[in-house]
Structure 1
Amino acid sequence: MINTMCFMMAFILSLISYNILTEVTEFHPNCSDREPDYRYQVFAKENVFFQCPVKSSYNGNGTPFNKERTQWFLQKSDGNIKKMINGRDLKATKSAILLWFSPAEMRHSGTYLCTVDNDCIKLAVFVQSKDNCILPYGSSSLYFTTDKTKELISCPSQGCQQMKNISNVTWYKSDEFASVTSPERYSLTIINNVIQLEKIYKEDVGVYTCDFDVYINSSKWIVRATTKIEVGLPDTEKPPEILGPSNGTILTAEIGKPLNLTCRIRFGPESCFNPVIKWKSMYPNYEKEHSGGKELCSNITVIGEKECFLTITLDKVTENDIVAKFCCYAENAVGNVTTVVTLSLKQIDIVFLTYILCGAVLLLTILLIGSGMIYLYWIEIVLLYRNYISKDETIGDDKDFDAFISYASQGSELDMETMESYSDKYDEERFAIQLLPDVLEDKYNYKLCILERDILPGGAYVEDIAKIIKRSRRAIFILSEKYIRSPKVFELQAAITCSLEEQEALKLILIKFKPFKEPEFLPNVVRKALSTLPMVTWKGDLDSKTSQNLKFWNRIRYYMPVKKVQISGKRSLSVFKHK
């Protein structure tokens, strides 16, 4: 009596499903208002299915079709109808859309409506706790092996219906609700409402649903329960097999370096698989153990065997590890197996080390030679880069000359002692007005400014020097004892001043044509420039082939503006025409 009252109370206060629902304004009035067509009683924590049993959803053979036209609704306790649109409790199969509780919970109790076209069926579902069963609830999961015979599948919910009249026990296979009996399945029989399998096949895998009728308060209820059947191979008769490492393996290791030890084990099929896997480290004074179980066996073969892996890591190999023994142990229900691994110090490969050293020396030699070549030919490399890649920096800078030339000419005022020492030759003048133009202008297309050639006579000399220097990109000074002691040193001083005052600084090129000593009366700004600015030393002979010394002219070009080389015709104007 108490159970009946609890049943009715739970059914009236049925919980609303957690699916996403939409309100339905119009529905079959003769369906929602009438008594349920079917009443189902199921049990919590079990997987159950409900098929839409309207007539229009079946073909002539009694199997459902047109599952796209099947719709499920939930009728709430206040009478409102909600359409179930979330697939969480709806499962699409080959032939229908099922109401599926996986697993069933107390809150799933309620009234459900199923429609196909214009047909409607009303189902009442009540989820009962197994705690209310008088006898224990039967097994809802069974495991059979193919070597067994006469296995039984009982309806697990029958123990909960003692002292009730049970009738019309029916069995279905899987979620398609196909009959368990078929002409092809000749070894399956149903005796006293229990399925008996004379022989086990792989095809017997599936979910078996049993229904039977009971009457509660003169109302017919269908009690539904499911049993999941799994089929496997017969239990192995062999102990596990260690695939690696093999017994007696010696692994090389380095002191202070990490090392992984992995044991691979193969287990045969077992209906109750409970392996034991261990790594055991046996040191002279103590032992250490690492163990695991099923969680190490993720790889399952098609024949039911399982491969397991257990790895231990030595963060830093020590001398104790070298003298220790490492045992891999595996055990199943039949027996056990062990393999032992030891470590040895890694020997240095002399030949390999020789190759490494020779390679390192060769690489270092190549780097040193390369660095030396770059150092020796740096100027040539830069000039080559300028000639093919760099942009001509003389374009658009509003300058008239590439370089202003300053040298000690015949008209320079010298004291008598100096005049007597240098009156025999005027090499500076020949170098300035003959050799420099021949190379820089004719060969490398630079435009030079030489006072005797490019400035008209009669102008104010000091003003002309300042203007011409500002109109030049570089200023070249041919230094000698004669130049340092002559008034020409003023031009050097003026150029230094211009380079300090202008935004785009004028760059000075100093050529040490002959050795000289700095006199005491030399201005400080000139003295500082001579000590800090780069200086190119002339070592050639104006009357020999050394006047075309390529290294000297490359250094001069290195300090000249970046300008594309365009070789022009040979100048015919000689030095004497400029006098």
Structure 2
Amino acid sequence: MFSKLWLLLTFIYSIKHSALGQAGVSDCLDKEPHYRYLVYAEEIVYFQCSPSYNLLKTEKNTVKWFIQSPDKGLEEVKSRNDMNVNENGTLQISTLERSHSGTYICQMRNLCMKILVRVEGKENCLKYGSRNFYFTTAEKPSISCPSLNCKGTIFTNVTWYKSVNFESVTSPTRFSLNINNNDINFSSIYPEDSGIYTCDYNLDDNGNEWIMRATLQVLVGVPDTQEPPRIIGPTNGTEIKAEIGKPITLSCQIQFGFERNFDPIIKWRVLHLVEEEHSGGRKLCLNNTNHLKGYDCFFNMTLDRVTSNDLHTIFQCYAQNSVGNVTTTFKLSKKETDAVFLIYILCASVALLLIMLICAGTVYVYWVEIVLLYRHYLSKDETIGDNKDFDAFISYATQTFEFGEEITENFCDNYEDEQFATQLLPSVLEDNYNYKLCILERDILPGGAYVEDIAKIIKRSRRAIFVLSQRYITGPRLFELQAAITCSLEEQESLKLILIKLKPFKEPETLPHIVKKALRALPTLSWKGDLNSKSANTSKFWKTIRYYMPVKKHKESVRI
């Protein structure tokens, strides 16, 4: 219901709006013309909608023009070849003919203006003046209304307008322009003075008052150049670098002065033993920012492949205008490899190689520290969910001292093995890094099948640490190393062995083959520290031990 009501209101409004507009035009149908214009055929003429009313910018787009037929019918003027309504609301009639005589009505808002136009042939005015002018800025010209000497008696001065907007030709800022004896006199003329000029004056023709209107076209340019063209580049005698076997484009840039009839001649000359001319190059001429200053032309010639003969050829760019000609000569030279560029490349390559070597050396030297740092902050705890009881099983040579036996140097060496395994290792790995070690004498109750127990304990451990010395290699605890090697081969990567050489030793000939092979294949750490040193846990040795131990998060932040 609402939509139907809206459509009805819209229809009523459109009819009312159309009626109002038509009513504004119809008001002029029976009225006398507001203005009567007399113009001559074969010209271009412009008519403004209201000579006495300045249209607003928003009103110019709403102006409509109509032609009234003898039966008072109206035909709206649309854009066509001989008649056009400009954006500023003026009516333009091109190449006037007698058939353009008639009544024209202009509508703006709800007002209308009626004008009568009479077109006469040029044969009725043999003294019709020129309507197209071309001046240069060096002149001091004057222009006259071309129809002044045609007919009638002038009883008002000539009124001049500039452009199709019918702007006043005079301005307080134009001191070099004045109107004298109905002519426009220029004491100085500029390119900005170019444009369309309209002149009006009143005349009495057989008792009827008419406005005689004529239109002029004025073009202003600078005087034609008095100098030959100038070649900007390449300069005379230039050598252009070229690579043998590669294409090259030769470009010639020429600057021409202004000429009204600009028709330059540009060509290439190739001077072998016999001179050849090439005029088929690619020519491009562009106006300068101010085209009255001249033209910039670019003329290119492309050699598809430079040969050794081209290096002995002289190339010449030739340019000519109406004043004279100019040439520039140049040749090609072989483009050598840029030694400085190669030096830069070599230096950059050497510097990059040095940086890579330094980085590689730094990583090699501090690899253990880098891995430990990465583990501390980024790695996951690998001991979670692996069903292992101990982080490392410790194997070392125990004391075999019997009652009454004399204390010898070997006894002291054996004690060092035990001190290192049962005191120093736990104080560093357990106390500082939260590792859980398995020391038989401390963590496993005596009794049972000893050999089977050792194998089970090793399988329950993530690592096996062996403190090697001469007594260990020749002692009864060597079977623990042999058992660990066997378990490592069975469990693949689950169990890893860490060998610590506490003291130098000599391998006996009776050493099992599997142990000999393991001593040569597995990494061995050599202990060179003091068993009583408090700074031992910060040494490279202990960092390497931690490197081989499983990743395990510490309860407290520790120093890497």
Q: TM-score, normalised by structure 1?
A: 0.61
Q: How many residues align?
A: 485
CA distance in 1, matches of 2:516, 2:37: 114
Contact 2:66 2:106 in 1 (8 A): no
The aligned counterpart of 1:272 is 261
The aligned counterpart of 2:524 is 537
Deviations 1:67-94 (A, max 9, x none): 445562558999799999xxx9663xxx
User: Structure 2 matches for 1:356-505, cutoff 5 A?
Assistant: 357=346, 360-361=349-350, 363-386=352-375, 390-391=377-378, 393-394=380-381, 397=384, 403-407=391-395, 410=398, 425=414, 431-455=420-444, 474-478=462-466, 486=479, 489-491=482-484
Deviations 1:211-263 (A, max 9, x none): 799xxxxxx99998855422122111111122332212223344355655443
CA distance in 2, matches of 1:237, 1:89: 43
Contact 2:393 2:458 in 1 (8 A): no
Q: 1:351 to 1:98 in 2, by over 3 A?
A: closer
Q: 1:249 to 1:82 in 2, by over 3 A?
A: closer
CA distance in 1, matches of 2:445, 2:46: 114
CA distance in 1, matches of 2:18, 2:457: 100
Q: CA deviation at 1:175?
A: 2.9
Contact 1:299 1:308 in 2 (8 A): no
Q: 1:321 to 1:431 in 2, by over 3 A?
A: farther
Match of 1:336 among 322, 325, 333: 325
CA distance in 2, matches of 1:555, 1:110: 112
Q: CA deviation at 1:436?
A: 2.8
User: What amino acid sits opposite 1:556 in the alignment?
Assistant: I
SS in 2 for 1:334: coil
Q: CA deviation at 1:323?
A: 1.5
Deviations 1:267-295 (A, max 9, x none): 222222222333434445765445466x4
CA distance in 2, matches of 1:72, 1:459: 117
CA distance in 2, matches of 1:335, 1:154: 40
Contact 1:54 1:115 in 2 (8 A): no
CA distance in 2, matches of 1:300, 1:185: 25
Q: 1:141 to 1:519 in 2, by over 3 A?
A: farther
User: Structure 2 matches for 1:48-447, cutoff 5 A?
Assistant: 50-53=47-50, 57=53, 64=54, 66-69=56-59, 72-74=62-64, 91=87, 97-99=88-90, 113-116=106-109, 118-121=110-113, 142-148=133-139, 172-178=161-167, 180=169, 201-202=189-190, 204-209=193-198, 227-256=216-245, 259-283=248-272, 288-291=278-281, 295-301=284-290, 304-314=293-303, 317-347=306-336, 357=346, 360-361=349-350, 363-386=352-375, 390-391=377-378, 393-394=380-381, 397=384, 403-407=391-395, 410=398, 425=414, 431-447=420-436
Q: CA deviation at 1:145?
A: 0.7
CA distance in 2, matches of 1:562, 1:42: 108
Deviations 1:416-462 (A, max 9, x none): xxxxxx99948765554344324433455544343443456679986
Residue identity over aligned pairs, in percent, reads: 37
CA distance in 2, matches of 1:437, 1:284: 98
The aligned counterpart of 1:511 is 499
CA distance in 2, matches of 1:563, 1:310: 77
Q: 1:464 to 1:351 in 2, by over 3 A?
A: closer
CA distance in 2, matches of 1:429, 1:288: 101
Q: CA deviation at 1:338?
A: 0.5
User: What amino acid sits opposite 2:134 in the alignment?
Assistant: Y
Q: CA deviation at 1:408?
A: 5.6
SS in 1 for 2:164: helix
Contact 1:145 1:200 in 2 (8 A): no
Unaligned runs of 5+ in 2: 1-13, 68-72, 97-101, 119-125, 203-208, 401-409
Q: 1:182 to 1:495 in 2, by over 3 A?
A: closer
Deviations 1:514-555 (A, max 9, x none): 7699957x7xxx999x699x8321333577799959444333
SS in 2 for 1:374: helix
User: What amino acid sits opposite 2:479 in the alignment?
Assistant: S
The aligned counterpart of 2:545 is 556
SS in 2 for 1:320: helix
Deviations 1:492-535 (A, max 9, x none): 555666677xxxxx462442657699957x7xxx999x699x83
Q: 1:383 to 1:260 in 2, by over 3 A?
A: farther
User: What amino acid sits opposite 1:267 in the alignment?
Assistant: F
Q: CA deviation at 1:398?
A: 5.9
Q: 1:518 to 1:279 in 2, by over 3 A?
A: farther
Q: CA deviation at 1:475?
A: 1.6
Contact 1:327 1:341 in 2 (8 A): yes
Task: Pick which of 547-556 and 143-152 moved more.
Answer: 547-556
User: What amino acid sits opposite 2:366 in the alignment?
Assistant: Y
User: Structure 2 matches for 1:19-34, cutoff 5 A?
Assistant: 24-33=17-26, 34=28
Q: 1:269 to 1:519 in 2, by over 3 A?
A: same
The aligned counterpart of 1:9 is none
The aligned counterpart of 1:416 is none
CA distance in 1, matches of 2:37, 2:546: 104
User: What amino acid sits opposite 2:108 in the alignment?
Assistant: T
**Aligned-CA RMSD value:** 6.1
User: What amino acid sits opposite 1:147 in the alignment?
Assistant: A
Q: CA deviation at 1:556?
A: 2.6
Q: 1:28 to 1:345 in 2, by over 3 A?
A: closer
User: What amino acid sits opposite 1:511 in the alignment?
Assistant: L
SS in 1 for 2:523: strand
Unaligned runs of 5+ in 1: 1-21, 58-63, 92-96, 127-134, 214-219, 413-421, 501-505, 569-579
CA distance in 1, matches of 2:511, 2:93: 105
SS in 1 for 2:293: coil
